A and B are shown apart, each in its own frame.
Chain A
Amino acid sequence: MSAAAPGTETGSDTGSTTAPGAERPAPGRWTPGRTAAALLLPGLVALLLTYAMPLVWVARMAFNEPLPGGAIRQTLTLGTFADVLTDGHYWRVIWQTVELGALVTVFTLLLSYPLALFLARTTTRWRGLLIALAVTPLLISSVARTFGWMAILGNQGVVNKTLQSVGIIDTPLQLANNLTGVVIASTEIYMPFAILVMISGFGRLDPELERAAASLGAGRLAVLRRVVLPLTLPGVLTAGLLVFVLSLSGYVTPRLIGGGRVFVLATEIYDEAITALNWPVAAVLSMLLLVLFGLVIVVYTRLQRFVERRILGERGAAS
């Protein structure tokens, strides 16, 4: 009962937040808008210190000039950008980053979708436990999981040993130290995220709609194609965005499973900054990664809008 009173107060507070904009309150008065500002302040300060400032610092670094031996000349030049963008090696790195992201996203979505669909639709009382099980991999550090994959995919790994002892192959399959291994391990690592995002994004799914479709003559495949898929597409898109972005910035898996042969932006930035001590180049690559993120967000928003329009019934009878 005592908890209800403050609750109702807050309720009326938020209800009146629009009023102060119309008639400006006295300078000394405490208003709901000011309460909100005060509550936001700590978070804002933290964000400024830990995110915005480093970002500005990195951006600034990109315009400095690298000198041999790790020294840096404070200046304002586009020379590092020009060097990076005219070097074929960096373009290959960018391409491989995007390629890895795309492959990982596609495989993660394909493997996660049926699982998420099952978990979202099941009525068993074990549903909660099953969802928890699906995300338990998150309890283990992705570094540990990557090492696990190395043990499985390596030339002396479980997969190759088994296939060889059964006699299906003679020479070991090249599953580690290349892109294939990174894709396999990354897919497994991002699946829990994808499943979680999909389940929460499948809100429009309603078993009654599937029954309605069945009563109208739709078989299981038609129900999936015409009802389930369109209604779950927004959730799939959001999961895809998350996986793609995570994969673009992924460092551990490409580094460990790539065996020094898979070059992506994250590993390249690390190498430039820590090994080559070339901070301006690392900063330029970081900026390029940010640009990639921006492009991904633009594409995602476009796709999202396209799907939403279809979801909301732009599609007609004669489709």
Chain B
Amino acid sequence: MTDPTTGVPSPTAAGAGAAGAPAADEGHLVLRDLVKTYPGRHGAAVRGVSLSVPRGAMLAVLGPSGCGKSTTLRMIAGLVAPSAGSVLVDGKDVTGTPAHHRDMGVVFQSYALFPHMDVAGNVAFGLEMRKVPRPERERRVTEALELVRLDHLARRRVSQLSGGQQQRVALARALVVRPTVLLLDEPLSNLDAQLRTTMREEIRRIQQETGITTVFVTHDQHEALSMADRVAVLHEGRLEQLGTPQEIYERPASRFTAEFVGRANLLPATVVAAASAGEAAAAEVEVPGIGRITAQGASPAPGEPVTVLLRPHRVVLDAHDPDGGIARGTVLTAGYTGETVAYRVRVGGSGPELDVELPSGSHRPSAPGAEVGVSWQQGAARLVPAAPRSGGDAEAADGGGPAGDRDPRGGAA
């Protein structure tokens, strides 16, 4: 069994490995090397995804459009047959079990409510299939509708509900059967921003109240970071990284994750010397145009190229003392967004350009052309492994994936 995250030389990957392969058998829901190739398509939609979700946890599957999130979810639900790999629930292999025997609740992106039944009819459907006697059925339907705060609309036709209400009916319909696993496919993508925030909290509340192991697909990083216990970042059908929201954001294991989750400055650099090893690994690196800086994270041997990640909001600009910071910079553009002021700053005479985000009101805004001192806190600069998927490349060949596609990204800073 190959864990795609093994072999990545960073503490994050080590953490992911611990949650993935070795602990796999302890997870409530376990995916092992799931592969899906759709007939008549070049390349696989999912190229060997292995991960594990602990009992009662909420996992967000995060990735750009077309990366295979829905396909992965449908394989878990038994709605799409995997080309290879297996799905385990409670240690039992359910790969060959048809969907209607899997006992998983699914909330579809389009809700897929039955148009010929009313709200209560939709919610009762799963109970009828399970031959739950009528009095209990009615009681549980009422309970489920109370849970999603829709008990007053039980007799309403589903076509006469708002998007948010339909979404809650879909959630109640999936929850009422008390499934072993709850699967949500971008349940919030059709809602407006305000309703989305409300529903995020509501889904999280319900998930914690019921304690159902949940997998939740989204392409919205805020949703993933704010709702989930764990986040799996998917890219081109492969697992980029698996970790807690903090790990994903603060210690991305690849350039892709660093750029996809949050905003990022990615600076090419060269290792000078490893400053320390182990848990608090750090290295001294040479960044062209900035000079030598210290960056957190395990590093390859001196002389090797690396990438340094600097989050825009961790950078500080000092307009009074241009020479007092780590480097001297020139403001190129300044944009007021309300909560923050977004700057673009050129470091040194011909150095790299940095995105910088400062809270508005905390400083006197600098105009384009102003000279500023650029600095950041110890630990804000982080090394991103250069070859993030050395362990997964063998699988890439199997899946016929465009392994060469990833190379050009080296120069995109």
Residues of B within 8 A of A310 (CB): 116
Residues of A within 8 A of B203 (CB): none
Residues of A within 8 A of B116 (CB): 230-231, 310-313, 315
0/1 per residue, A281-317, Cβ < 8 Å to B?
0000000000000000000000000000011111111
Q: Would you call A208 an interface residue if the criterion is a C-beta within 8 Å of the partner chain's C-beta atoms?
A: yes
Q: Would you call B275 an interface residue if the criterion is a C-beta within 8 Å of the partner chain's C-beta atoms?
A: no
A311:B100 contact, CB within 8 angstroms: no
Which of A209, A214, A230 gathers the greatest number of chain B CB atoms within 10 Å?
A214
A313:B124 contact, CB within 8 angstroms: no
With an 8 Å Cβ cutoff, the count of chain A residues facing the other chain is 28
Q: How far is the CB of A215 from chain B (nearest CB, A)?
A: 4
Q: Would you call A89 an interface residue if the criterion is a C-beta within 8 Å of the partner chain's C-beta atoms?
A: no
Residues of B within 8 A of A311 (CB): 115-116
| Of the residues A204, A218, A230, A316, contact of B129 by C-beta under 8 Å | A218
Q: Would you call A319 an interface residue if the criterion is a C-beta within 8 Å of the partner chain's C-beta atoms?
A: yes
| Of the residues B98, B112, B121, B138, contact of A209 by C-beta under 8 Å | B112
With an 8 Å Cβ cutoff, the count of chain B residues facing the other chain is 41
B114:A317 contact, CB within 8 angstroms: no
**Chain A binder among B103-111, B208-216, B258-266, B330-338:** B103-111
B129:A216 contact, CB within 8 angstroms: yes
Q: Would you call B267 an interface residue if the criterion is a C-beta within 8 Å of the partner chain's C-beta atoms?
A: no
Interface residues of A in 200-217 (CB under 8 A from B): 204, 206, 208-209, 211-217
Q: Would you call B118 an interface residue if the criterion is a C-beta within 8 Å of the partner chain's C-beta atoms?
A: yes
**Distance in angstroms between the alpha carbons of A317 and B102 in the assembled complex:** 23
Q: Would you call B253 an interface residue if the criterion is a C-beta within 8 Å of the partner chain's C-beta atoms?
A: no
A218:B79 contact, CB within 8 angstroms: no
0/1 per residue, B85-110, Cβ < 8 Å to A?
00000000000001111111110101
Residues of B within 8 A of A79 (CB): none
Interface residues of B in 39-76 (CB under 8 A from A): none
**Distance in angstroms between the alpha carbons of A318 and B134 in the assembled complex:** 7
A211:B159 contact, CB within 8 angstroms: no
Residues of B that sit less than 8 Å from A by CB = 77-79, 98-106, 108, 110, 112-118, 120-121, 123-126, 129-130, 134, 137-138, 141, 154-155, 157-159, 173-174, 177
25 A-B pairs with C-beta separation under 8 A: A204-B115, A206-B112, A208-B110, A211-B106, A212-B106, A212-B112, A215-B79, A215-B174, A216-B129, A216-B173, A217-B177, A230-B116, A231-B115, A231-B116, A311-B115, A312-B159, A313-B115, A313-B116, A313-B159, A315-B117, A316-B118, A316-B155, A317-B120, A317-B137, A318-B134
